[in-house]
Amino acid sequence: MVAENTGNTPSRPLPPSSEKLEWGSDAVAWTLRSLPIDFIALNPGASYRGLHDSLVNVLEDTAPEMLVCLHEEHAVAMAHGYAKVTGRPMAVALHSNVGLMHGSMAIYNAWCDRAPMLILGANGPVDANLRRPWIDWIHTSQDQAALIRPFIKWDNQPASVEAAMESILRAWQATIRQPRGPVYICLDVSLQEKALDKPLSTPDPTRFMPGEPPVPSAKELDTAANMIRKARNPVILAGRVSRSSTDWGKRIELAEKLGATVMTDLKIAAAFPTDHLLHPLPPAFRLDNAAIQLLSGADLIISLDWLDLGGTLYTVWPDGKPSAKIIHASLDDYAMNGWAMNHQRMAPVDLALDGTPESAVDGLLERIESTATIKVQNAHKRPAMPQQTGAFDLLALATTLTSTLNDREVSYLRLPLGWPSATNTFKHPLDYLGYDGGAGIGSGPGMVIGSALGLKGSSRLPVAVLGDGDLMMGANALWTAARYGIPVLIIVANNRGYYNDVAHQEAVAINRNRDVENKWVGQRLDDPAIDLASIARAQGFQAEGPILDERSFKTALEKAITTVENGQPALLDVVVKAGYMSGVVDFNSDSHSDDGN
């Protein structure tokens, strides 16, 4: 999953010699240094004051470097965004039970998005006789990880220094093994502050790394190849795949060999060039009529870890009996548990290829001869670009943004619900990084800053479009970008309300034959309007707004691009007309205000 040439590949110092380790937390710090962990995002807390001291005075705040955040949720979100770009886990430190509760929403996002990260928590003394009055009692929990166990891969609370070192190695092994996800280790404060009476026997981390992920069997791949040879109208659903440009090229090669139409999903990162002849429909958050028609005409569907394959198939074939044969390459069922329903609806599949999408593509390319003669007949006509209405809405914002950025190498770190994706062209796996996994509003600022950190030093311009509600729930994440000189351009599509819920209220009012004009009650973020640009400037961003028209936006955008290219973060508060393009959201179903926009 590692993306090449992101620019962020710092050289790593060696771990300190075991003779220099004097305290339990020094040993924990040694183990972190021994692993390829570049950063640790944190909001300081007394429960891990021992570890904090070791990071500063033993590791000298290097490898991992501390990234101070103003809220635990932002620390986790930064690690999530960083993993989206680099494929590498970051470390996160959370202060006792209260910090873990603050960070839990962001951990759920990472779990749903299969993002790796190593989370270090801490407890007051487990030995009650060692607890200080009041504070140590309310910041100590029995089985602290129970707060998040349903949406992490693994957790542990080691009882000795040696066990803590092994625990970190096991956690690293677990978080980078596919399917990936967050892991959690709770460090007793007494363990951290225990004086070491003799040099530790330090482990060799290279002997604790996981092997390669499983691949589909030769028999399964042979069966898949035979199914493909019989197909006359195959469709590839390119889902959760790697950020590797080599793998990107192989997916293109497979599609062209088969003459297969390809679809991608705006909820997840770019998986296939959207301007390719075989990719006729723009990526979307949900299936529209054109996508349903395209899939209903397929005689074979190849899912490359498609997000919510079951929901997609039942949308096209409500009786649950697809007329097309279904091949599904994924390891995601190995992450399934009984609490989190993010495994989605069961998909009726004819052939399950238990392995990564990349291993399935490799195996099929070895077995399939070119069937490019059907390439042209399977190429669908592209829908016309949506026409601007004259109002300054999301479409006008998107059109101005993409035309201004047209000659630059851009990474779109986030796009909001309702985004007219037909205005974008994604030609590289880092051109678009997807949504947040769990649709947890407030994740945007921290996540895009983490992604921008992963791109720092590269040739790419990091750009994110966030809703105003999403920004305000996470606005104090901006300070971390300014503090560490992380260049990023954040554009706020500000409709001054929780518009997704407005649309839901309208749907309910219509269904109940009630006044739709009341849909804005309890939803507006106005009167007074929030001065988003001032909030950003107060934390060190260059910022402008409110911007009320297309011409002013273009002028401010060009200035903001220069700021970011000079290594500084910038934010633009752009006031847009509330509304989504048709077909974006089904407002007759239940959902939270996904993006606060």
Pairwise CA distance, residues 522 & 12, whole Å: 52
CA 275 to each of CA 27, 282, 325, 459: distance values in angstroms, whole numbers, following the listed order: 51, 9, 27, 22
Q: Could you tell me how many residues make up the chain?
A: 597
3-state secondary structure of 595: coil
Per-residue pLDDT tens, the chain, 597 aa: give them. Answer: 445 545 555 578 999 999 999 999 999 999 999 999 999 999 999 999 999 999 999 999 999 999 999 999 999 999 999 999 999 999 999 999 999 999 999 999 999 999 999 999 999 998 999 999 999 999 999 999 999 999 999 999 999 999 999 999 999 999 999 999 999 999 999 999 999 999 999 999 999 999 999 999 999 999 999 999 999 999 999 999 999 999 999 999 999 999 999 999 999 999 999 999 999 999 999 999 999 999 999 999 999 999 999 999 999 999 999 999 999 999 999 998 989 888 999 999 999 999 999 999 999 999 998 765 545 444 556 666 677 767 899 999 999 999 999 889 999 999 998 899 999 999 999 999 999 999 888 999 999 999 999 999 999 999 999 999 999 999 999 999 999 999 999 999 998 877 777 878 888 989 999 998 888 888 887 889 999 999 999 999 999 999 999 999 999 999 999 999 999 999 999 999 887 655 455 545 444 444 556
Q: What angle do CA 244, 250, 251 make, to 5 degrees?
A: 95
Helices vs. strands in the chain: H and E counts, helices first: 19, 16
Pairwise CA distance, residues 593 & 470, whole Å: 9
Contact 400, 550 (CB under 8 A): yes
Contact 60, 86 (CB under 8 A): no
Pairwise CA distance, residues 232 & 218, whole Å: 24
3-state secondary structure of 390: coil
What pTM value is reported for the model? 0.94
